[in-house]
Amino acid sequence: MALIIYLLAFVGGFVIMSLELLGGRVLAPYFGSSIYVWGSIITIFMLSLSLGYLFGGKLSLHRPSLQRFGVIFIVAAVLLYPLVYFAEPVMLLVFERIEDPRYGSLVASGILFILPTIILGMISPYSVRLLVESTHQSGQIAGRLYFFSTLGSALGTLATSFYFVLWFEINTILTLLTATLVLMGIVASIAHKIRPHGESH
């Protein structure tokens, strides 16, 4: 089941960076694409991920399983998909009330991306907990896991910036990311049910 967990971590990294890049495209029509806007997006994502790492680590202490891991992906999908419908109204609402693009983009980014990104941030620490069976191997497993997660982030960055934004509308990409998260949640649930008898996770 280790390969499944590495795959889930890879996809988690992919979605995080794809969403972050899309954030720039979502905010651009209202706040531009200056360094202020990107600074706001990066700040929100870093803060959200840090909270996700913290919460994911705590959650992993309570009967960790692939099935519960799959729920994280489903919850992330549920929180991500509303952006398709509410991103533009939220942007307009913030834009009309906060003229300064620095603070306007920061507030808009927070409203739109904090919740889904916190949940996505829970993926990595939960993955580590599922894979680590002894402290002796924890460092090696964590390193391998973050390799796959960061590789996913790199490919998510390239795929989104080089191809997705040229081929699809933003809402289509968000829908595809949502569907991918749901699929990974299903994969985790199935893997939990067919895992070898006696396997702890």
Residue 84 near residue 147, CB atoms below 8 Å:
no
How far, in Å, CA of 41 to CA of 27, rounded?
9
- Would you say residue 201 lies in a domain? no
Residue 83 belongs to domain spanning: 2-194
With the C-alpha atoms ordered 5, 184, 111, 43, is the resulting torsion angle positive or negative?
A: positive
Exposed/middle/buried for 142, CB within 10 Å: 0-12, 13-18, 19+?
A: middle
In a domain, 200, yes or no: no
Q: Is residue 30 part of a domain?
A: yes
Taking the alpha carbons at both ends of the chain, their separation in whole angstroms is 9
Specify whether the backbone of 77 is left (phi greater than 0), alpha (psi in -120 to 50) or beta.
alpha
**What domain count does the chain have?**
1
Instruction: Look at residue 187 and tell me if it is in a domain.
Output: yes
Q: What is the mean pLDDT of each run of 10 residues along the chain (201 residues)?
A: 86 93 88 87 94 90 85 94 89 84 88 94 88 67 85 91 88 92 90 62 46
> What is the pLDDT, as a whole number, of residue 47?
95
Q: Domain for residue 104, yes or no?
A: yes
Is the C-alpha dihedral spanning 72, 119, 53, 156 positive or negative?
Answer: positive
- pLDDT given for residue 197 in this prediction: 45
Separation between Cα atoms, residue 201 and residue 195, nearest integer Å: 8
**Domain for residue 55, yes or no?**
yes
Predicted pLDDT at 17: 93
Q: Residue 12 maps to which CATH number?
A: 1.20.1250.20
Q: Is residue 199 part of a domain?
A: no
How far apart are alpha carbons 129 and 199 in whole angstroms?
A: 14
